[in-house]
Structure 1
Amino acid sequence: MTTSYRTVYAFAREMHPKTVKHDIQYGTAGFRTKASNLGYIMYRMGLLAVLRSRYKQGIIGVMITASHNPECDNGVKLIDPHGEMMEQSWEELATKVANVQDDELEQTIRDIVQDYNIDMSIRVNILIGKDTRPSSPSLAKSVIDGVLALSGKPIDFGIVTTPQMHYFVKCRNTQNEYGVATEEGYYTKLVSAFKKLRGDKYNNKNYENRILYDGANGVGAKKIKYFQERLGECLKIVLYNDAGIGTGKLNHLCGADYVKSQQLFPTGVPSEPNQRCASVDGDADRIVFYYNDENDKFHLLDGDRIATLVASYLKEIVSETGLDLNLGLVQTAYANGASTDYITESLKVPVACVSTGVKYLHHKALEFDIGVYFEANGHGTVTFSKNAKDKLNQAAKGNILTESQQQAASKLLALIDVINETVGDAIADLLLVETILHAKGWNIQDWEQTYTDLPNKLLKVTVQDRNVITTKDAERQCVTPNGLQEEINDLVKKYKRGRSFVRPSGTEDIVRVYAEASTKEECDKLAAQVAQKVYDLAGGIGNPPLIA
């Protein structure tokens, strides 16, 4: 044991020395910063992955990505055995391991082993994946060094999407019950289910089987080509922003985050009137849909729209089965108020609101038999309980239901195989949306007409210390600084259908301000006024917000 620990320290000191003085925090997205500052952190996360694997007695994944960030950034996050985000208590350990000095690392590892009673003799495999960033190969080598330093076995999956890594980890830990833990297994599972649901009829009523796809010059562009080959005429995916490694600017003027935040077409994608388009982000775990109408006006269908489409369709099928299954939808405070009203009042589906962060949405979704969750940014999925799957399997095979009910149960089982339950998966979600639009015979305008979004605005206020802002009630109410929430309440009262909340960033000293109102002009004014109150009461620095 001593030799192994000393190896940890020797590697850290000689090959992966700590190069950054300031601390870095493990958040929902793991660690994320400039790629040049991540070498020692990657090594240490290789160490932590081995400890986590031995503690959980299961296979752990390590994904190297910075998602929608610029190409110069990178990051890393650990994936737990069921394909879920690493549990919160170990996020704190990750932060500690990343920030200790080199000469404290050996003892820190010893302490974790002792505190968690970890059997260091257990043989473990660590799965490693990376996106297309130029820095990813060298950072993967640092992770591998960390895994080897504690006698783990690294298994490098090469360039994959983040959702594929989550899928691989769950497959390996369920002995391939969830699916085959290879890229081919992933493609086969999704495409086979998609084709089964679509049948031989590729177009239906207003639905046309053609979509323009913005790959953000990332891994989502590489992997969609494998789907193109397998889908053929079933779904025509026209690919843009698919530059190879080192030649395209990842996420630059393209990708889901750009389209969502700028409300603009990505560079390179042609504006064909009323043509359905989709953009994924750099690691292909987010997706948004959009189109320009005949007047060249931009229309966005984001995560809220995807959630309502999916929830409404699932409710229809569950009703057709006649089974007693508990369906619910999970949102954050960023969800458009009009979507929440539509879900609760028109669809009659229960809605839960949780704090921002996929881990919170996913955890809450698991409380339902069928849990739908999407963040407004386009990251989300659907989870199905064991109870739901057991009932559906019994219904599809048994004679207890009518023929139409059995068919509905079989349809829902096939739909489950189109979905990546482990995490938001842009490509799986694309196939899910296309399945539903095809089944309904809808074009993108039909989808959009289900309800009208309230105008909304998101602003940032730079402050001296983001920690002065604390919140409660799923971040919808500000607790400190004193008096700020009262000021927000007074402002909101002045606007029809007004709503606003503030929350601190998880990674930098800024405060995010969200506002809604019945008109764009009132929404913009409310957002600016709330931002000014944040600036005044929470230690704003730099130029104050401009009030229209």
Structure 2
Amino acid sequence: MDFEAVTKYSKLHAKPPGLSLQYGTAGFRTKAENLDHTMFRMGLLAVLRSKQTKSTIGVMVTASHNPEEDNGVKLIDPLGEMLAAAWEEHATRLANAEEEELQRVLTDICRKEAVDLLGNAFVVIGRDTRPSSKKLSQSVTDGVSVLGGQYHDYGLVTTPQLHYMVCCRNTHGNYGIATVEGYYEKLSNAFVELTKQAMSQRDGHISLKVDCANGIGALKLKEMGRYFPACLMVHIDNDGTKGKLNHLCGADFVKVHQKPPVGLEMKPGERCCSFDGDADRIVYYYTDVAGHFHLLDGDKIATLISTFLKELLVKAGQTLTFAVVQTAYANGSSTCYLEETMKVPVHCAKTGVKHLHHKAQEFDIGVYFEANGHGTVLFSKAAEQKIRYQAKEEKDNRKREAAKMLENTIDLINQTVGDAISDMLLIEAILVLKNLTVAQWDSMYTDLPNRQLKVKVADRRVIDTTDAERRAVTPPGLQEKIDDLVNKFQLARAFVRPSGTEDVVRVYAEADTQENADNLAHEVSLAVYHLAGGVGEPPKAVTS
């Protein structure tokens, strides 16, 4: 390792004094002007990871649903999955090392991970549409180049597209062709094959309005339009020509505020969806004839997809293990519907898609979605082989057709990570195949009223949780207080968890009515304020 060159380049990407960053579920995120050194160093780390795994590694410059002035970076592991936990720790150490410590930290990572410095390294880079992203991605390439790594810059791509590229390159084309066009062709061909018969039997088009959060999703969805069949009509709103990225629009805004984005006009019953800034989340919504807004979030999406998959598995006669993975934020009604009506096993994982992804890998088929709309479906290698074999060799026509539909579904899903475009196409295909309106999909079950709040505290680490974050272990007495409060309301549930990025405690509550959910959330937030070292004024009562 040429430490002299690393030191020289590092001075050109100097670390702001005293700045400390933590590699979270979605990598590093902060104000863009504070990230130059981090980007350079993640280029260095990507080279070391590539040398260690003898694989292509991805570096995505994005801050997802954060405001436009923020930015961030996440590393992508060989099969398109999120960075391994041990390397998250290396990333944090490397980002926070002072200039004089850089050589020692790099040497330590190489020693701990047995990195062969003579090996080759290849890194692929992508970025979102933020004004700061181009310059910051150049800092990544500086880091890659100074350690002698080779790279390919895909430029403007969605986060899921870069995950797809990494997987394609490391599976030597078995997963798909590692180009944006290859991505478009794979997904659109699978959509056409899956819906061909159903579309030939129906009149009219599939019409959908898509809020792209003024982000990269708009650019890529426009490009993909020429690959779509004529029957699929997608109208893009918030395409970046007028508004600011993620400002009063996007999946996170719609989910949190329970209302449509600015810049999107809705007619009653019209199907609409929102991406987030880097197009790895999606939520659906519509208004009814009375003008009421209805949100179909990650729980509704997981329910639709898992219902569809279970029906196909039964038709195909497949006895594969199948489960849905949720977080504590999943609405209680969705869990109840899946377990009691659909007879689908449901498992709970800690918040953060990396936790859901790992849990979903335990099954032949694992469906996972966070309530925020980030999720996908995973098929084990054995399950995929069985399905593809049956689609070709099955003698029973009905079973073979079901297996073919499962095969096309596999090809339509981006298994590397949650992908708004892929998920959108899968949802639209299912609605066609099951001949469902958005209101009929919504009526599968009724969400319990719920409320999310946050409480500022001096130190979020005073809160420790267990049971996939559903119960508080510390501070003493807090969980007992929450239990007492929950018992005061019908169909009630509540939990608290520390934020991963700031000194706040997040509170979730649900109950039989919105008023009760609001009251429960408020009382739990007061308990957190008093028992966990609240800062400032006590939380005020919720006004719906």
TM-score range, shorter chain: over 0.9
Cα distance in 2 between the residues matched to 1:253 and 1:490: 37
Letter matched to residue 72 of structure 1: E
Residue 117 of structure 1 aligns to a residue whose secondary structure is: coil
Query: Which segment drifts farther, 113-122 or 133-142?
Result: 113-122
Contact in 2 for aligned 1:208/1:443 (Cα 8 Å): no
Q: Which residue of 446, 460, 468 corresponds with 1:466?
A: 460
Q: Which residue of 373, 382, 399 corresponds with 1:378?
A: 373
Q: Tell me the residue number matched to 1:266.
A: 261
Query: Which segment drifts farther, 198-207 or 281-290?
Result: 198-207
Q: Which residue of 227, 230, 233 corresponds with 2:230?
A: 233
Cα distance in 2 between the residues matched to 1:226 and 1:20: 42
Q: Tell me the residue number matched to 1:60.
A: 57
Letter matched to residue 187 of structure 1: Y
What RMSD, in angstroms, separates the aligned Cα atoms of the two structures?
1.3
Question: What displacement does 1:389 show?
Answer: 1.0
Q: Which residue of 392, 398, 416 corresponds with 1:397?
A: 392
Q: Tell me the residue number matched to 1:170.
A: 167
Cα distance in 2 between the residues matched to 1:23 and 1:420: 34
The answer as to 2:352 corresponding to 1:357 is yes
Question: What displacement does 1:323 show?
Answer: 1.5
Deviation readout 1:487-508 (Å, 9 max, x if unpaired): 0000000000110000000000
Deviation readout 1:168-199 (Å, 9 max, x if unpaired): 00000000100000000000000001011111
The answer as to 2:142 corresponding to 1:127 is no
Question: What displacement does 1:20 show?
Answer: 4.2
Q: Tell me the residue number matched to 1:320.
A: 315
Cα distance in 2 between the residues matched to 1:414 and 1:154: 32
Pairwise mapping of residues 306-455 of structure 1 onto structure 2 (< 5 A)?
Answer: 306-399=301-394, 401-455=395-449
Q: Which residue of 8, 11, 32 corresponds with 1:10?
A: 8
Question: What displacement does 1:547 show?
Answer: 2.8
Residue 49 of structure 1 aligns to a residue whose secondary structure is: helix
The answer as to 2:520 corresponding to 1:526 is yes
Q: TM-score normalized by structure 2?
A: 0.98
Contact in 2 for aligned 1:216/1:251 (Cα 8 Å): yes
Q: Tell me the residue number matched to 1:82.
A: 79
Query: How many correspondences in the alignment?
Result: 542
Query: Which segment drifts farther, 521-530 or 230-239?
Result: 230-239
Cα distance in 1 between the residues matched to 2:417 and 2:200: 29
Cα distance in 1 between the residues matched to 2:95 and 2:224: 38
Residue 233 of structure 1 aligns to a residue whose secondary structure is: coil
Letter matched to residue 8 of structure 1: V
Contact in 1 for aligned 2:205/2:231 (Cα 8 Å): no
Structure 1: unaligned runs, 5 residues or longer: none
Residue 452 of structure 2 aligns to a residue whose secondary structure is: strand
Deviation readout 1:295-330 (Å, 9 max, x if unpaired): 111000000000000000000000010111111100
Deviation readout 1:267-290 (Å, 9 max, x if unpaired): 111021110000000000000000
Q: Which residue of 500, 516, 520 corresponds with 1:506?
A: 500
**Structure 1 runs of 4+ with >2 Å offset:** 200-208
Letter matched to residue 11 of structure 1: Y
Deviation readout 1:106-152 (Å, 9 max, x if unpaired): 11111111222211111111000000000000000100111111111
Residue 368 of structure 2 aligns to a residue whose secondary structure is: strand
Letter matched to residue 142 of structure 1: S
Q: Tell me the residue number matched to 2:282.
A: 287
Letter matched to residue 517 of structure 1: A
Letter matched to residue 329 of structure 1: V
Deviation readout 1:338-366 (Å, 9 max, x if unpaired): 00000000000011100000000001111
Letter matched to residue 539 of structure 2: P
Q: Identity of aligned pairs, percent?
A: 55
Q: Tell me the residue number matched to 1:517.
A: 511
Question: What displacement does 1:10 show?
Answer: 1.5
Cα distance in 1 between the residues matched to 2:436 and 2:38: 48
Contact in 2 for aligned 1:203/1:209 (Cα 8 Å): no
Q: 1:358 to 1:309 in 2, by over 3 A?
A: same
